[in-house]
Amino acid sequence: MKWIWKLFRWLIHLLGRLCGSLLGWIFGWIPRLKKHMTGIEFEQYVYEILKRLGYKHLRLTRQSGDYGVDILASYRGVRYAFQCKYYSKPVGVSAIQQAYSGCEYYDYDEAVVVTNQTFTRQAYALAKNNGVILWDGEKLALMRRRANRHALFYRFHHSDHHPYEDILQVIINANYASEDLLYQQLQIPLSRIDYILDDLEFYDIVSCEDEYGLREVYISSVEEGIKLLEKSPI
């Protein structure tokens, strides 16, 4: 009987992976990081996240010598130089130095170090002193989820206006935001409302949820909200 139970568990696990892969293929989701990746694979992974988040003029530098920078990209006029580090231990100060010098070499505006790990205390200190932006594994996972949300949301919104425009108008008119409000006014599925409210909170458009499930609205116009949504996710 044990082998039957093991077979059943294996089939359930396989079915779950197949369903996840199918949904990912349908919606264009970026998968979670693999346990083992090459440096080039990690660079491509970060590249895809940036692309989905709306970064423009993306360029991988590995073919021409990177000078401490792996990806060049821009977002709303700001040019970012990304150094990607797929490590099995916390990233140290050398990566910060490389990113900073590479950003100077390419004459870009902001240096960013991205890793699947964390950073050492010395690396955090050096980055703070030199204005280098850090994405640790937790931050990268957040950006992956945001990129996937955008892919899902934009897939079903093909109008000329911003996909959040109607949502912003509703919460401004009501002077608060909540799951019930968006569901009743716009008939948005509850599973997607959580993602939307997280986005609005991330960009300081609404407050965190209070004990009654309500959120304060910080904007006074739709245009103001769209400007906040379109700023760099860094």
For 18-60, how does the pLDDT look when each residue is reduced to its tens digit (9 = 90+)?
655 555 545 556 777 878 889 889 999 999 999 888 888 999 9
For 187-213, how does the pLDDT look when each residue is reduced to its tens digit (9 = 90+)?
877 767 887 888 898 889 999 999 889
Q: What distance in Å separates the CA atoms of residue 70 and residue 83, rounded to the nearest whole number?
A: 5
User: Global pTM?
Assistant: 0.62
Q: Which residue, among 192, 179, 180, 189, has the nearest Cα to 152 in the 3D structure?
A: 192
Whole-number pLDDT of residue 52: 84
- CATH of the structural domain 39-142, one choice from 3.40.47.10, 3.90.1720.10, 3.30.2040.10, 3.40.1350.10: 3.40.1350.10
- Find the radius of gyration of the CA atoms of the chain: 21
Question: For residues 72 and 103, is the Cβ–Cβ distance under 8 A?
Answer: no
β-pairing, 133-135 with 110-115?
parallel
Collapse the DSSP code of 78 into the 3-class scheme (helix H, G, I; strand E, B; otherwise coil) and give the result.
strand
Q: Tell me which amino acid residue 217 is.
A: V
Q: What distance in Å separates the CA atoms of residue 184 and residue 170, rounded to the nearest whole number?
A: 10
Whole-number pLDDT of residue 75: 85
Which residues in the chain are classed under CATH 3.40.1350.10?
Answer: 39-142
Measure Cα distances from 129 to 124, 134, 135 in Å: 9, 12, 16
Which residues in the chain are classed under CATH 1.10.10.10?
Answer: 160-229
Collapse the DSSP code of 112 into the 3-class scheme (helix H, G, I; strand E, B; otherwise coil) and give the result.
strand
Please tell me the chain's helix, strand, coil percentages from 3-state DSSP, rounded to the nearest 5: 55, 15, 35
DSSP secondary structure letter of residue 59:
E
For 147-189, how does the pLDDT look when each residue is reduced to its tens digit (9 = 90+)?
887 665 545 444 455 678 889 999 999 999 999 998 888 887 7
Measure Cα distances from 216 to 205, 211, 219 in Å: 9, 12, 9
| Averaged pLDDT of the chain | 83
Q: For the structural domain made of 160-229, what CATH number should be given?
A: 1.10.10.10
Whole-number pLDDT of residue 28: 57
Whole-number pLDDT of residue 161: 59
